[in-house]
Amino acid sequence: MTYNLDPQRNWLPDLEDLRNKVKYNPNISGILIINPDNPTGLVYPENILCSIVDIAREFDLFIISDEIYANIVYGNEKFVSLSAICGDVSGIAMRGLSKEIPWPGGRCGWVEFYNKTKDPLFARYAKSLLDAKRLEVCATTLPQKVLPLIFSDQRYKQYCQSRAAIYSQRAKIAHEIFSEISGIIAPKPQGAFYYSVVFNNILNN
């Protein structure tokens, strides 16, 4: 089940819609966040993330946060990780290197579990994910060995900043073009490398 993102408010989630979806659908077990978002380019403000955590806490849910674009942020909003705001709520963050490191074919990713032992059902779910991944034949030894070296290199932060600056310039150009077109809603992206536009009642059959 999905919840609404509002293009009139820079693609911010409709928290009332999210809360009602959760409240009236007891089969829902968790809330998914993509931050920075694909395909809108939204970077979630901290207060919105905290509100989502509050909803998860109220209805005893866990949160999955896809943070694959965490180092491709170039707008006014600062990226805030799930680990920084989840508190006592159980959660999973999905991270990886494929979107930020120039390593052709290096599609290594990982998950981070938060408050895994707080909820027995969540702990069992986390174990089932790990057990399933261990059955796959996929050698990630090389990425595991080199990632600490990459992340600790003093050039890495500068590289991420310079790459984000390139996407920022492209987003600026695209936004200037789309904002002049009547009948289109096109909030300026703040992260990742996507741009979603909405045709506002101008399309016909």
Residue 205 lies in a domain: no
pLDDT at 180: 93
Domain count, the chain: 1
Residue 79 lies in a domain: yes
pLDDT at 88: 96
Residue 65 lies in a domain: yes
Mean of pLDDT values over 70-93: 96
CATH number, domain of 56, equals: 3.40.640.10
> Distance of CA 27 to CAs 8, 31, 124, 204, Å?
30, 12, 17, 38
Residue 204 lies in a domain: no
Mean of pLDDT values over 109-128: 93
* pLDDT tens-digit readout, 42-68: 999 999 999 999 999 999 999 999 999
pLDDT at 139: 67
Residue 133 lies in a domain: yes
Output the DSSP codes for the chain. Answer: ----EEGGGTTEE-HHHHHHHHHT-TT--EEEEESS-TTT-----HHHHHHHHHHHHHTT-EEEEE-TTTT-B-SSSPP--HHHH-TTS-EEEEEESTTTS--TT---EEEEEESTTT-HHHHHHHHHHHHHHHTS----HHHHHHHHHHHHSHHHHHHHHHHHHHHHHHHHHHHHHHTTSTTEE-PPP-BTT----EE-S----
State yes or no: pLDDT of 133 exceeds 90.
Answer: no
Residue 174 lies in a domain: yes
Mean pLDDT of the chain: 92
- What domain range includes position 135? 5-199
